[in-house]
Chain A
Amino acid sequence: MGKWEDNKAWFLVLPVFVLVAISAIIPLMTVVNYSVQDIFGPGERYFVGIEWFEEMLANKRLHDALWRQFLFSGLVLLIEIPLGVLIALAMPKRGWGVSVSLVLLALPLLIPWNVIGTIWIIFTRPDIGLLGVAINGLGVEFDHTAAPLDAWITVMLMEVWHWTPLVALLAYAGLRAIPEAYFQAARIDGASPWAVFRYIQLPKMRGVLTIAVLLRFMDSFLIYAEPFVLTGGGPGNSTTFLSIYLVKLSTAMDVGPAAAFSIIYFLIILLFSWLFYQALQNVGTGDRQ
C-alpha cells in the first residue's frame, strides 16, 4: 500500500506546524539561552558555556532522582499496560455494560491532578481514611509519611488507580476495531483463547498500544503534582522524582542549572520515547498475515 507522493500535503500540515512551533520554539530558545549563562541580575550575565551541564551531570542527588524516576516509570509501564489490556479484554462488547464501564473507567482521569493528591492524603490516613483504616485493621503497620517503602506503595497505587483507565480505554477502542471475521476464522480453526490473543488481538492493538506506552512513559516520567501533594517528595528524599527535584532546584538556585537540567531531562525522555517507538513499530512485524 504505497502512499501518494505529494509535497503539497505540507499545506495541510502547516496550521499544526505553525501553532505548535510558536508554542515550542520560543520556550526552547529561552531555556537554551539560560542554560549557558550565569545571571546575577538584569544586565549582569556571563556566558559560562557548558559549565552548568557539567555541574548537573556530576550532581549526586540528580543521579538518585534519575534512578528513582527510571524505577518508577518502569514499574508504571510493567503494571499499567498489561492491566489495562486485561481490563479491555474483560469489558463487554455490547449492551448497557459497555456504557457503564466506559463512563466509570473515565472517572479517575477527569479529576485535576492536585486534587487527586489531596484526596489520597485523606483516603490513606490511618485514622480517618478508608484505605488507611482497612490496612491497619488487617494488623499491618502502614504509614506513608514515615516509611519510604509505604510511601512508594501508596504513590504507585495512586498512579495505577489514576492512569490504568487511560490504557484500558485505548486498548478497548483498538479491540473493537478488529473485524468479526477474524474471530470467526479463529473459531473454525479451533484456536485457543491464548492463540486468538497472541496472533489476532495483540498484533491488531499495536497502534493503540504504541500510543499508550509512549503517553504513559512520557507522563509518568514528568509526574509532579500527585506525588508532590501526597508525600512532598519524602519521607527523606524517597519519593523525590525528577520533576520534583527540578522544581526544588529552580527555586533554590538561579535559573542556569535548572535550565541545563531541563534540557538533559528532555533529551532522556526523547531518547527513550524514540527507542520505544522504534521497538513497537518493528517488533513482531513478521507475524502479520
Chain B
Amino acid sequence: MRLQKRTVGLILYLGVMLLPIYWMLNMSLRTNADILGAFAFYPADPTFANYVKIFTEEAWYSGYINSTIYVSINTLISLSVALPAAYAFSRYRFLGDKHMFFWLLTNRMAPPAVFLLPFFQLYSTVGLIDTHIAVAISHCLFNVPLAVWILEGFMSGVPREIDETAYIDGYSFPRFFVSVFVPLIRAGIGVTAFFCFMFSWVELLLARTLTTTVAKPIAATMTRTVSATGLDWGLLAAAGILTIVPGALVIWFVRNYMAKGFALGRV
C-alpha cells in the first residue's frame, strides 16, 4: 500500500515535469502564426516544416555537429585526466591533498562572465579561436573538478585490498589501473561521463565567446536565428526538442550503471 502511494507520487511528479517539454513538442509541430494565434492543447494541423528546416539548412545542423564534437572531446579529456587524479585522492595522503581537492571545486565558483575576456585573449594568442578544441579545453574548467569529485567517491567504495593483492601479484601500476581497477568502477565512469556531457552541452557563454562560425554551438545558433527573424517560436521549439536527443541517448547507455549505484562519500 505504501509502495503504491510512492509510485503514484512519482508518476504525478514526472507527469507535471513533462508538461513544459510537452509544450515545447507541441510548439515545434506548429507554425509561428498558429502558436501566437490561439491556445491549443495539441497541434490541430501538425507540420514538420520546422524539423525539415533544421535538417536541411547547414547553419542549423552544423550547430549540432559542432556541439557534439567539442562535448565529446571535453568528456574524453575530463575523464582521462580525472581518473588518475581521483585515484590519487582516494588512495594516497600527500602534501596539500585536502586543499587541492577543495581548490578544484572553487573553479566552479566564479561568475562565468569573469572568464570571457581573459579566455578570449588567451585563445586568440595561441590561435585557437573558433576551434572545437578551444571550447573543449575551456569547458574543462568546470568539468574536470566535477569529474574528480564524482570519481573519487566511486573509487573510495572499492576496498583497498584489491590494490594490495594486485601489487603483490606483480602488477605494475598502469597495468593494474587499466585492466583491474577501471573495470571495477565502470559505473562511476558512466555516471561521470553523463554529467560532463550534460554540463558541457548546455554551456553557452564560453562556447559562444570562443567561436564565430566553424565551431559555433547549437545553443548559439538558436539565439542568433531568434534575434534575426524576430522570434520564430516553432523553429526554436523544434531545435530545443532536438537538443535533448543526444543527451537522452547518453543517459540511456549509462542507465544500468546508474541503477547499480555508487558509494560516494569517504568514511
Contact = CB atoms under 8 A, between A and B. Distances in A.
Given A5-B92, A106-B248, A118-B226, A87 B10 contact: yes
A23 B255 CA distance: 32
- In the complex, which range does the number of interface residues on chain A fall in? 35 or more
B115 interface: yes
Interface in B137-178: 137-138, 140-141, 144-146, 148-150, 153, 157, 160
A225 B259 CA distance: 32
A24 B259 CA distance: 35
Contact of B84 (A15, A128, A165, A277): A15
B191 A173 contact: yes
Interface residues of B, number: 102
Interface of A: 1-10, 12-13, 15-17, 19-20, 23-24, 26-28, 30-31, 86-87, 89-94, 98-99, 101-115, 118-120, 122-123, 127-131, 133, 161, 165, 169, 172-178, 193, 204-208, 210-211, 214-215, 218-219, 222, 224-225, 243, 246-247, 250, 259, 262, 265-266, 269-270, 273-274, 277, 288
Q: Is the interface of B mostly helix, strand, loop or mixed?
A: helix
7 contacts: A13-B84, A90-B13, A118-B236, A128-B36, A129-B39, A177-B262, A211-B264
A112 B2 contact: no
B81 A177 contact: no
Interface of B: 2, 6-7, 9-10, 13-14, 17-24, 27, 35-39, 41, 77, 81-82, 84-85, 87-89, 91-95, 97, 100, 102, 104-115, 117-119, 121-122, 137-138, 140-141, 144-146, 148-150, 153, 157, 160, 191, 194, 198, 201-202, 204, 218-219, 222-223, 226, 233, 236-237, 239-240, 243-244, 246-248, 251-252, 255, 258-267
Contacts of A215: 108, 146
Residue in A105, A122, A131, A265 whose Cβ sees the most chain B Cβ within 10 Å: A122
A107 B105 contact: no
Residue in A87, A92, A107, A133 whose Cβ sees the most chain B Cβ within 10 Å: A107
A177 B187 CA distance: 11
A177 B264 contact: yes
A109 B198 CA distance: 7
A4 B261 contact: no
A57 B26 CA distance: 47
A112 B243 contact: yes
B20 A123 contact: yes
